[in-house]
């Protein structure tokens, strides 16, 4: 009995001491007013760079939203909305975005960093490069063109910054590095976008058409696509290189579409060449009056079904697909001499001819 009383007394004393300790701590140490702010010190260099890039570029970045008329299965027309990003190209009011952002749009609107929203006119586009040019009234808003850089001197590992409107969330900055260079992306008509920049900066739906910047705040690419099974960021994004943008955009502004260098041939799909065991671009037909026909190139003989010429190189660069042929001609430009290496009946020869605009 005595032992039980001692145990109970000990428990009571322990409980009192525990509560008393908490009371004393609260009484002595609890802050009863706002705490003193600890000085932070300077931002780290990389933080300063990111903040400076965003503050300088944000006024040039735009929020693009579109109205697209769609027909339902019952034949009724309904209007759906799309969103994307863009940026100011010049003081004339030209805005750059992706072609797929404004494709089939009935109306397009641009909202600027200032909050001003204005209607935009579609000047033209290039599905082959996933680029489009819009035009807003110069007097409607204050325009701050984005500084333009280069993409031919980029290095894997250098810092990049993407600004856009993912999921409709405006003024969003993500950072990362150039994770690879020289990628190709499929475009329309069997062509490919060459020299594409790969980055691990987070790019999500709504970022399309927004700028990819270097640490100097210069445009180095236009964000265009991601690889993802869910449609959201999964670690790999792509941007059309600014060297391509700087070449194609002036053409769209001038004529509504870019020039398309060609040599006047129709070619077979790469699957056809593979079935025949041929390495190169099989010419189906040399268009009469075109440069290829004038240089003596021949397509498949429709009567005997015998192969004619197969293009295996352009200016010494091997080509195996129509997309690669188009890319090399695109590099050359309109009205430029190119040297083709062609093969017929096991014999190779070189043919020099001038490109023409087939756009």
Active site residues: 100, 130, 208
Provide DSSP, 267-334.
Answer: E--HHHHHHHT--SEEEEEEPTTSHHHHTT-----TTT-----EEEEETTEE--SHHHHHHHHHHH-T
Nearest to 317 by CA among 199, 207, 194: 194
- Write the secondary structure of 41-57 as one string of H (helix), E (strand) and C (coil): CCCCHHHHHHHHHHHHH
What are residue 135's DSSP bridge partners?
A: 94, 121
Q: How long, in residues, is the chain?
A: 359
Q: Give the contacts of 275 (CB within 8 A, at least 6 positions apart).
A: none
Place of tokens 């509504």: 256
Q: CB-based burial of residue 107 (10 Å sphere; 0-12 exposed, 13-18 middle, 19+ buried)?
A: middle
């Amino acid at each position: 009995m005595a032992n039980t009383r001692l145990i109970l007394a000990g428990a009571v004393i322990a409980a009192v001491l525990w509560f008393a300790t908490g009371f004393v701590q609260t009484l002595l140490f609890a802050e009863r007013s706002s705490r003193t702010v600890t000085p932070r010190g300077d931002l780290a260099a990389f933080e300063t760079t990111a903040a400076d890039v965003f503050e300088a570029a944000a006024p040039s970045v735009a929020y693009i939203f579109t109205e697209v008329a769609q027909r339902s299965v019952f034949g009724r027309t309904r209007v759906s909305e799309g969103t994307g990003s863009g940026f100011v190209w010049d003081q004339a009011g030209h805005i750059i975005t992706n072609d797929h952002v404004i494709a089939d749009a009935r109306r397009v609107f641009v909202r600027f960093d200032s909050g001003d929203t204005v209607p935009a006119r579609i000047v033209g586009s290039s599905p082959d490069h996933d680029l489009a040019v819009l035009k807003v009234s110069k007097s409607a808003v204050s325009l701050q063109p984005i500084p333009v850089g280069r993409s031919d001197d980029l290095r894997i590992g250098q810092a990049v910054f993407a600004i856009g409107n993912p999921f409709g969330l405006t003024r969003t900055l993500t950072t990362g590095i150039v994770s690879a260079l020289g990628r190709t992306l499929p475009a329309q008509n069997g062509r490919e976008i060459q020299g594409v920049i790969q980055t691990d900066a987070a790019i999500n739906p709504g970022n399309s058409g927004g700028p990819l910047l270097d640490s100097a705040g210069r445009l180095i690419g236009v964000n265009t696509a991601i690889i993802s099974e869910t449609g959201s960021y999964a670690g790999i994004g792509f941007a059309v290189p600014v060297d391509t943008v700087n070449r194609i955009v002036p053409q769209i502004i001038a004529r509504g579409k870019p020039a398309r260098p060609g040599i006047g041939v129709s070619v077979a799909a790469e699957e056809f060449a593979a079935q025949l065991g041929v390495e190169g671009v099989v010419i189906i037909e040399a268009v009469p009056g075109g440069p290829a026909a004038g240089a003596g190139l021949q397509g498949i003989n429709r009567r005997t079904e015998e192969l004619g010429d197969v293009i295996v190189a352009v200016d010494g660069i091997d080509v195996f697909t129509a997309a690669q042929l188009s890319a090399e001609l695109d590099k050359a430009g309109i009205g430029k001499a190119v040297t083709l290496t062609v093969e017929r009946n096991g014999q190779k020869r070189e043919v020099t001819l001038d490109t023409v605009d087939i756009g």
